[in-house]
Amino acid sequence: MFLAWQEIKRNKLRFILITGILMLVSYLVFFLSGLATGLASLNREAVDKWEASAIILTDDSDKSLYQSFMSVDLLKEINAEKTAVIGQLNAIASNKDKKQNIALFGINKEEFLMPNVIEGRAFENANEVIANDSLKDEGFNLGDQLSLSSSDQTLTIVGFTDDARFNAAPVLYANLSTYHQVKFGEMADQNKDQINGIVIQDDSILNLSLNDELETIEIESFIENLPGYTEQKLTLNFMIYFLFGISSIILAIFLYVLTVQKISMFGVMKAQGISSSYLSWSVVAQTLILAFIGTAVGFIITLISGTFLPAAVPVSFDLTLMIIYGLILMVVATAGAVFSVLTIVRIDPLKAIGG
Amino acid sequence: MTVLELHQVKMSFGSGNKTVHALKETNFLANQGELIAIIGPSGSGKSTFLTIVGGLLSPTSGKVVINGQNLTALNEKERSQIRLKEIGFVLQASNLVPFLSVANQLNLLDKVKKGNMSKKERDQLYEDLGIADLLMKYPSDLSGGQRQRVAIAKALYSNPSIILADEPTASLDSERAYEVMELLKEVTTQKKTTTIVVTHDIRLVDYCDKVYKMTDGVLTEIEKDKKSPQIAGEYSHLS
């Protein structure tokens, strides 16, 4: 550590440049992880809000809530701790000034899918809805009358809840009869037993016996099958994993070049009896110091720049994940020192004194 | 007291018709407090001799004994420990670490050798070598002579029994070269080390107690009283 730190102190500019590159890579990693978390939240936060174990959909719906149709009577066949029915449709809501993609959830008020209300009140009557508060940023307010693209029904916002987006669309919560009115219009009465799925809060979900037309899907699996969710997540994660590799390679090249420049010096030191392990540890320690400083600065800059981003940017920083990524960056950066260590081990002290 | 012994040491490189005998059968003894010069032209085997004595190279045959320990019977790690404890190196240009201040050059050895020298002893060493006022300077701030003084201080760290100097004056002007040799003479006497200087600068042999010449891998001692004229005659082309 002594040798490593003394060299950094003496050659500040050189090491600031290396640390700067690491800082930029870590900034990119942290920012991408924030973007991945933010985009994932856009898709799943309404589902996370259920705190459910599983959802029952029809087998032929291919795990899509929107494509699943079943009768509410099936609820009687399900023996689980807690159940809640859900009807869902997508539409474009307009308050005359603004238009916005929304997901409408038809639920029973007394079941656990009922969201917390942070402003206004819960729905009580037909055509009343609780909206996700992100709609406020889009110009929607309490009392707004919403017309829907696929229906002649008009909905009224009576309350707001938080963290309720489904597949990137803000959710409107209404009672089941409102959902039926919106979905089926004049045919609502004939379809009043129709729902899209049944959500379950029961850890022993695998023990549920269902008929062949239904499928129990664990919530995580349901989320992964949301349209575009897995593809988006994989793309961003691949970018992060590539950045891990790139940071390791960049540091390996820099350290190798620095080590090659010092071969003669290391040779003399080895001739003097300083062991290869001491010199190798010095390079590894130097890498750790650089990686720690670069990652820490990248971490801080990410958090600072996050505060200046407009609300429209879907970034959400998961500190635990960022710390894990930071540690991985330090590990892969240290792995980049392996070539330098091998070089040091192979240095022949004989050559250093011209033998 | 005998510090270094070479018994029938030979060193060859290559095999068959391409075998090069860098060092032919060599017997050599060096006592405590002796300053010994090994002179000879380039390629004569001086450096091979020095690397074998320094435990950096194992001879093809024969035995190297330092303070009663047979160096040739040890593995690389054990030889490395012997180098660390028993041998100090002073090399041609400078063996200083460019990014360490003079004080830290020795602090590094202190960390590696686990504090073999007290602060008082270290301060005394700085005084003896005239580098006490250079401690905060870096090698690039020092003159050639000052760098070699610091290199000698490093070599003397933790009181080695042998100092091996490979062309220690090669990069210095005459005045600085004499200064360095005087210093080596002084530390050899005061610290009772055995100092072996490999050089082709015959002006320096007057400082030495014994002089050997190396010719085509054969080491021969030159009589002390005759060394300067004899050497001057034989190696005039080198000076």
**Are A159 and A118 members of one domain?**
yes
Quote the pLDDT of residue A158.
Answer: 95
Interface test with A, best of B50, B95, B164 (most A CBs within 10 A): B95
Query: How sure is the predictor about A138, in pLDDT bands with cuts at 50, 70 and 90?
Result: confident
Residue A106 falls within a domain, yes or no?
yes
Residue A18 falls within a domain, yes or no?
yes
Interface test with B, best of A2, A11, A263, A272 (most B CBs within 10 A): A272
Contacts of B213 (CB under 8 A, 6+ apart): B38, B39, B40, B219, B220, B222, B231, B234, B235
Question: Which residues on chain B are in Cβ contact (under 8 Å) with A275?
Answer: 77, 80, 112
Using a pLDDT cut of 70, give the percent of chain A over it.
Answer: 97
Residue A252 falls within a domain, yes or no?
yes
Residue A177 falls within a domain, yes or no?
yes
Question: Which residues on chain A are in Cβ contact (under 8 Å) with B92?
Answer: 353-354
**Are A31 and A139 members of one domain?**
no
Report phi then psi at A41, rounded to 5: -60, -40
Quote the CA–CA distance of A287 and A293 in Å, as a whole number.
10
Quote the pLDDT of residue A156.
Answer: 94
**Are A319 and A263 members of one domain?**
yes
Interface test with A, best of B112, B152, B154, B156 (most A CBs within 10 A): B112
Answer whether B57 sits within 8 Å of A273, measured CB to CB.
no
Question: Which residues on chain B are in Cβ contact (under 8 Å) with A6?
Answer: 99-100, 104
| ipTM exceeds 0.85 | no
- pLDDT tens-digit readout, B171-222: 777 777 888 888 888 888 888 889 998 887 777 788 888 899 888 889 888 8
Contact between B135 and B102 under an 8 Å Cβ cutoff? The reply is yes
**Are A189 and A252 members of one domain?**
no
Quote the pLDDT of residue B18.
Answer: 79
- pLDDT tens-digit readout, B6-26: 999 988 888 777 788 888 888
Quote the pLDDT of residue A42.
Answer: 87
Contacts of A283 (CB under 8 A, 6+ apart): A4, A255, A259, A337, A340, A341, A344
Quote the pLDDT of residue B238.
Answer: 46
Quote the CA–CA distance of A274 and B152 in Å, as a whole number.
17
pLDDT at A323 over 90: yes
**Are A272 and A343 members of one domain?**
yes
**Integer distance in angstroms from the first to the last C-alpha of chain B?**
34
Residue scoring higher pLDDT (B18 or A93): A93
Q: What 3-state class would DSSP assign to A170?
A: strand
Answer whether B91 sits within 8 Å of A353, measured CB to CB.
yes
Residue where one domain finishes, among candidates A158, A183, A202: A202
**Are A170 and A287 members of one domain?**
no
- Tell me the torsion sign for CA atoms B95, B100, B104, B110: negative
Contact between A47 and A217 under an 8 Å Cβ cutoff? The reply is no
**Are A59 and A102 members of one domain?**
yes
Total of domains in chain A:
2
**Are A345 and A319 members of one domain?**
yes
- Tell me the torsion sign for CA atoms A68, A74, A80, A83: positive
**Are A138 and A175 members of one domain?**
yes
Residue A7 falls within a domain, yes or no?
yes
**Are A62 and A170 members of one domain?**
yes
The residues on B that touch A, with CB distances below 8 Å, are 47-48, 50-51, 54, 56-57, 77, 80-85, 87-89, 91-92, 95, 97-100, 104, 107-109, 111-112, 138, 154, 166
Indicate the CATH number of B2-238 among 3.40.50.300, 3.40.50.920, 3.60.15.10, 3.90.1150.10.
Answer: 3.40.50.300
- pLDDT tens-digit readout, A178-228: 999 998 888 888 888 899 999 998 877 666 667 778 888 999 999 999 888
Which domain does A260 fall in, by range? Answer: 2-43+230-352
Answer whether B56 sits within 8 Å of A2, measured CB to CB.
no
**Are A181 and A118 members of one domain?**
yes
Residue of A nearest to B163 (CA): A272
**Are A140 and A39 members of one domain?**
no
Residue scoring higher pLDDT (A206 or A330): A330
